[in-house]
Structure 1
Amino acid sequence: MAINQLNLKRIVIFLAVIVSLATAYYCGWMYVAFKIESGFSNLKEKYNTTDLQINHKDIEISGFPWGWCLKIERPRLKIKNRFLWTTSLLKINLKSWDYKSFKFQTFGSHQAHIYKNNSLKHIKAKMNTGVGQLRLDQFGKIQEIKFSVKENIIQIPSSNQIRFKKLSGSVHLNKKHATKNDINQSPSVKLEIDLSSLVIPKTFLPKMENKIAEIKLSTDLHGRLEGSNLKNILTNWTKHGGVIEINKMMLNWGELNFFGNGTFALDENLQPIAALSAKITGQNATINSMVVAGLIKARTGMLLNFLTNAMTNKKRAKNQAIKISLAVQDGFLYLGPIKFFKIPEIRWN
């Protein structure tokens, strides 16, 4: 009898401990939920200025007991009079065991607008859905962003449209990159982009294939990014030896397949300079299309065809890949020793 009473007492104590822990966890969960909701409200009031405006409608928090799920209706972000982003619903997921990582997803109408100074025309982008992940470092600063958007239409002035099926990528920021002159440290920014089914307006490249099946890019950016505007940032980056390492660049455009790597930088006039090595197939058809489109002269096309044919082993398959070197310098693109075509000057103002 005494043993049964002792066991019963232990069970009661055990249940009391479990209930106490569950109650404490629930109270903690509710406290964090309250802080998150009030934090978003404070964020809305704090950044409601002329330069930056953050607005939204109702916020709903769920996800108990494993985490917190925020549903934000009609979030709206405006930066000065240059950029506007809005969507019907933004969903953010936070896990209790991984507080440094946030997953987000958009639903419904998803739009972004980019405006130019003293111009009524602007660039408008529409997206169906967007998903991503945001990771913070130990100090609460952004360390990595991953994203993916589908079924996109970009409306640019003059009634032109750029469409693509899917864009995904990631940006990794290295906060430890603090030395001004040593560019051999870990890259300050790592960028990866994967773009599929890109359709550009026919007016951009008449008589050329206007659908690019796939573009992949993986780069490491070395150097400090500091300044008050884009031109100032690029000037400082160039002065301190900033360079971009292109680890992988892949292009599938019509019959052309391109796979290469190399380096990219800017000269003292902030114009591109680059050196690439690549393997390509489908080069002859692409060169002929560029001649027909008037992008290169006929004699340049003949010379390029002769050069690429000389690199091909006639005993092998017709679509054999060839190795080439590309360079951008003094405003021209070079294919090996041949000046391919002139690159328009970039104005950063």
Structure 2
Amino acid sequence: MKRLTSLVFGLVIAAAVLSAGYSAYWYVSAEQIRGGIAGWADDVRGHDTVVEYQDVRVSGFPFWLNVMVDGLRVETGEDADGGYWGWSGSWIGFDIRPWSFSEIKFRLPGTYQVTYPVGIFRPDGKEKAGARSLFAISSKAEGYIGLKDGFQPWAAYVDIGSLEILAEDIGPAGDNLLEAESARISIRTYSPGEPAHLNSTLDVAFSLEGLVLPEDEDLPLGSRFDLIQGEAALMGALGPAPAAAAVQDWRDEGGTLEVLRLNLRWGDLDVEGKGTLALDGEMQPMGALTTSIRGFKPALEALAEKGIIKASQATTAKVILGLLAKRGTDGRKTLSAPLTVQERKLNIGPIHLLDLPPITWK
């Protein structure tokens, strides 16, 4: 009996010691997180970046470290055109297992503000200075960041539900830029292999469902996209140099973009494809996709109606592509044909569709 009592007493003492040790570890970890956020903020402030927050709260004992950063605002320094990146929200949350810091889950508030340099969306090279702010409203915004040695991110995933993006202001006066039933993106990076141009350094997968753009955009097949989905692998490494130089080096070393999967459902148009893209000597896209296209006839008619292609082009394309298409079991014709880009000309099979605007790299 004494031996049993001693054993039980020993187990209780051991459990108490372990519990106290784990509790101390949890609270030390919580303080290290607070200190780490403060240190990160001080560090980036020294690189022409604004970081402000009101408080850092840590809860979730014993199985989680639930971190809430209240009133966070981050803004990079302005570029030569007065543009900058920024994010602000009432809070941002991080969820971490105390015994594993290799994966961090995060949550965003229902409403947050994103600021971006206006000029990055001008592929035609026309200068446009300054920055623009957008307000995002969503029913859900969460994801995770995967970390490797040295807390370097190597993977990320974002899942957003019922997204609405407004410009300038929230409310009746706000300019509704887009809505989406859901938006997802995942990114995974790899260390460059040898030879670099034959190995993926970045994998990206994305999906937009129920995307609705403003009616005044007057798009040929309507303002709603039922599905935009893709998966791609960047072959070859992009260096840290400015974008134009880094992209040129990547091209010169044989870099390509492997489109592993592309799906588009827009009005009557239903496209599936895969292929390879690269940059030509003028730093313009070139490549070919193997595609399966349904609803191409109404799509061609809509392009002609909007003046994007000539009516004669649409008529010729419908006849030739109609002969190449095969009727499926559901009665709809499916066209299997290459979609090619060369010298800024977009072609489907033997038919030239349209000329693409030039891309100017900065």
With structure 1 as the length reference, what TM-score do the two structures score? 0.91
Residues 189-268 of structure 1 mapped to structure 2, 5 A cutoff: 189-268=202-281
Amino acid at match of 1:53: V
Contact 2:56 2:70 in 1 (8 A): yes
Contact 2:258 2:277 in 1 (8 A): yes
Q: Output the CA distance in 1 between the equivalents of 2:65 and 2:131.
A: 41
The residue number in structure 2 matching 1:153 is: 165
The residue number in structure 1 matching 2:102 is: 100
Deviation at 1:188, TM superposition (A): 0.1
The residue number in structure 1 matching 2:50 is: 53
Contact 2:89 2:113 in 1 (8 A): yes
Residues 1-349 of structure 1 mapped to structure 2, 5 A cutoff: 4-49=1-46, 51-81=48-78, 82-116=84-118, 119-120=129-130, 122-128=132-138, 129-150=140-161, 151-153=163-165, 155=167, 161-175=177-191, 177=192, 179=194, 181-185=195-199, 187-313=200-326, 317-349=330-362
SS in 1 for 2:358: coil
Deviation digits for residues 294-333 of structure 1, max 9, x if unmatched? Answer: 1100111011100121023469654132211110010110
Deviation digits for residues 142-175 of structure 1, max 9, x if unmatched? Answer: 110011223131539xx67233232101000002
Deviation at 1:255, TM superposition (A): 0.5
SS in 1 for 2:159: strand
SS in 2 for 1:183: helix
SS in 1 for 2:230: strand
Deviation digits for residues 208-237 of structure 1, max 9, x if unmatched? Answer: 311111111000101111143221221111
Q: Which 10-residue stretch deviates more, 117-126 or 335-344? A: 117-126
Deviation digits for residues 41-66 of structure 1, max 9, x if unmatched? Answer: 11112211353232211111111111
Deviation at 1:25, TM superposition (A): 0.8
Q: Output the CA distance in 2 between the equivalents of 1:347 and 1:283.
A: 31
Q: Output the CA distance in 2 between the equivalents of 1:70 and 1:337.
A: 57
Structure number with the bigger relative contact order (C-alpha 8 A, sep ≥ 6) is 2
Contact 1:115 1:123 in 2 (8 A): no
Q: CA RMSD in A?
A: 2.0
| Distance change (3 Å), C-alpha of 1:299 and 1:213 | same
Aligned residues: 341
| Distance change (3 Å), C-alpha of 1:182 and 1:43 | closer
Amino acid at match of 2:7: R
| Distance change (3 Å), C-alpha of 1:102 and 1:88 | same
Deviation at 1:197, TM superposition (A): 1.5
| Distance change (3 Å), C-alpha of 1:222 and 1:345 | same
Deviation at 1:72, TM superposition (A): 0.9
